[in-house]
Structure 1
Amino acid sequence: MSEITNKEDVRVLVHTFYDKIRQNQLLGPIFNGHITDEEWPAHLSKLTDFWESNLFGVRTFRGSPSKAHIKVDKNLHHTISQDHFAQWLQLWFKTIDELYEGELATRAKEMARRMSTGQYIHIWQNRPEEFRN
């Protein structure tokens, strides 16, 4: 077991994780329905930049995850639930535990926990009133 030490480690984590996401019964249809096979390489690169930025404090990521999540929720008729984020988080933790240990692995888990909660709240706050339940 090794520690996360560089962008290549982050790339391995992100690619391994999203391979699991794409095959997951709950999450796979959502991700595969919004990201085409041709778009996945660029998306994985962007996600690698996102996690590199967050774990190493470098400015490689540009984008708005919140806007993307709100758009997906709208496309799914405002049906994204806490269960989706819980499954995402469980797979993230499992992938980290299979690949890495140490301070940055722990930080990646803590950040993901906070982000998943924040993203769900942001989605919920941006739903039309009739879809808030």
Structure 2
Amino acid sequence: MTTLKDISTIEDIQLMVDTFYDKVRQDDLLGPIFNDKLQDRWPMHLQKMYGFWQTILFDVRAYSGTPFPPHKQLPVDKTHFDRWVFLFNSSIDALFAGTITEEAKMRAANMAYMFNHKIDYFRNLENQ
């Protein structure tokens, strides 16, 4: 049995992000939404995600911005976020193990919960 190493380098983050988004792009539920939104901008999105996760996990200022606004109008609900978390966790569990890996999974789950909550909040405001 191979022992998995923890996420520790930018190359690890790139592998994590690339593997995860390969699954997202091919997923029956998430793929159409992401592919329609990003179209030919996938390379730019992946670069942004490398910086985002480097900032989150390594406390390196590689990302600046506000990640929620681009997601606000997406046609998604809890089912989509649950799938997103499942794909994220299964992607990195196949590649890595350790403290930073667990931190990444916790952060992803928290972001999914927060994004879903905020999207619901704004939708409810619009429907009042």
Same fold (TM over 0.5): yes
- The 8 Å contact of residues 4 and 101 in structure 1, kept in 2 or not, is answered as yes
Residue matched to 2:26? 23
The offset of 1:63, in angstroms, is 2.1
Matched position secondary structure for 1:58: coil
Equivalent position to 2:91, from 92, 95, 99: 95
**TM-score, scaled relative to structure 2:** 0.92
- Within 5 Å, which residues of 2 pair with 1:10-89? 10-37=13-40, 39-72=41-74, 76=75, 80-89=76-85
Amino acid at match of 2:81: F
**TM-score, scaled relative to structure 1:** 0.88
- Bigger drift between 63-72 and 104-113 goes to 63-72
- Superposed CA deviations along residues 8-37 of structure 1, whole A, max 9, x for unmatched, are 100110011000000000000000000012
Matched position secondary structure for 1:100: coil
Segments of structure 1 that go 5 or more residues without pairing to the other structure are: none
> After TM superposition, what 4+ stretches of structure 1 lie above 3 angstroms from structure 2?
128-132
- The 8 Å contact of residues 17 and 92 in structure 1, kept in 2 or not, is answered as yes
- Superposed CA deviations along residues 47-71 of structure 1, whole A, max 9, x for unmatched, are 1111110001111112221101103
Amino acid at match of 2:110: R
Identity %: 38
Establish whether residue 110 from structure 1 lines up as the match of residue 106 from structure 2. Answer: yes
- The 8 Å contact of residues 66 and 123 in structure 1, kept in 2 or not, is answered as no
Count of aligned positions = 125
Matched position secondary structure for 1:65: coil
